[in-house]
Amino acid sequence: MPEYNVVVVGAAGAVGQEILKVLEERRFPVGQLRLCATSRSAGKRLVFRGQEYTVEETTPESFGGMDIALFAGGAASKEFGPAAVEKGCVVIDNSSNFRLDPDVPLVVPEVNPEDVKQHRGIIANPNCSTIIMVVPLKAVADAAGVKRVVVSTYQAVSGAGLEAIEELTEQTKAVLAGLEFPPKVFAHQIAFNLIPHIDVFQEMDYTKEEWKMVKETRKIMHDPDLAVTATTVRVPVYRSHSESVNVETREKLTAQRAREVLAGFPGVVVLDDPANKKYPMPLFCSHRDEVFVGRIREDNSLANGLNLWVVADQLRKGAATNAVQIAELVIQYGCLRGR
């Protein structure tokens, strides 16, 4: 089997380390591997397939001889993405820098895999919450069409990085001990609290995170007129995002038929047995690649409506796994630039 040279940018962060795990678990055909990050993280040592690698500072020269560049997120892709493309790499970017660029495909492999073929050097990985929602949404859309989506998210602190995980831990300890622990990562105390505010506020007092879900969903689903509205909330959970998704379909879809459609869709696991208290929860969905769906109910207030409770690991399917799946499609479709 051919091997491909891969560079991971942001390798020392939470998503970057998850990318390395996923590459190893999925037996991605890595030939040469290069790990890059900011100057602050340069010099750290990480292990891949039993071999130790030293993280290098990212420069334009980091991409020479590489086939695929996996950017874990942040501003790096805006600074170094064009240089990587110039060196012949296909860039798969986990940041929001290129997601809404009309010339950049925004891909969830279970939903719109063919869009990979349209890339001009850069492919965007969608927002984690968007990915988690559109996988089951695609199954529903294929079965009955989708007219409107109302989504509320319950997002784990790890979506805000390693510092956010540490803040929840230390703040929880402090609160239990009756001590003060002023927030640094979040706008307010996250321990024993919910914060209905993720990213900056923008037009109509929706946050950037909420607009991501609106605009990215329309692009991925190839439906610019799809009605989507979102409320995104940070919750004191370490890992895995949960979402309450209300879908108005164009045709009637019963709850039972929805269960059958979802159970047969790639990447979805239906866990829906309320009588036995079985439904998706972050505690049991973490470190998994599937999107779990339960609490499947017909909307009692709407003729063609469904309620879904959706949970998935946002570091895996919401970020690292989706990015590696895109890389697999690039190889499958013969979309590498230098070969």
Q: Which two tokens stand for residue 250?
A: 């164009």
Paired residues of 195 in beta bridges? 234
Task: Give strand pairing partners of 241.
Answer: 312
Residues 6+ apart with CB under 8 A from 133: 149, 151, 213, 217, 243, 245, 310
How remote is the C-alpha of 103 from its chain's centroid?
20
Residue ranges of alpha helices (H) inside the chain are 14-25, 76-86, 128-144, 162-176, 208-220, 255-263, 282-285, 321-332
Q: Which residues pair with 306 in a beta bridge?
A: 247, 298
Helices 128-144 + 208-220 axis angle, to 10: 40
Active site annotation includes 285 = no
Q: Is 222 among the residues known to form the active site?
A: no
Q: Is 10 left (phi over 0), alpha (psi -120 to 50) or beta?
A: left
List residues bridging with 243 in a β-sheet: 153, 310
119: left (phi over 0), alpha (psi -120 to 50) or beta: beta
Of the listed 36, 89, 119, 241, which one is catalytic?
241
Catalytic residue among 36, 89, 119, 128: 128
CA distance 67 to 90: 6
Indicate which residues carry an active-site annotation: 128, 241
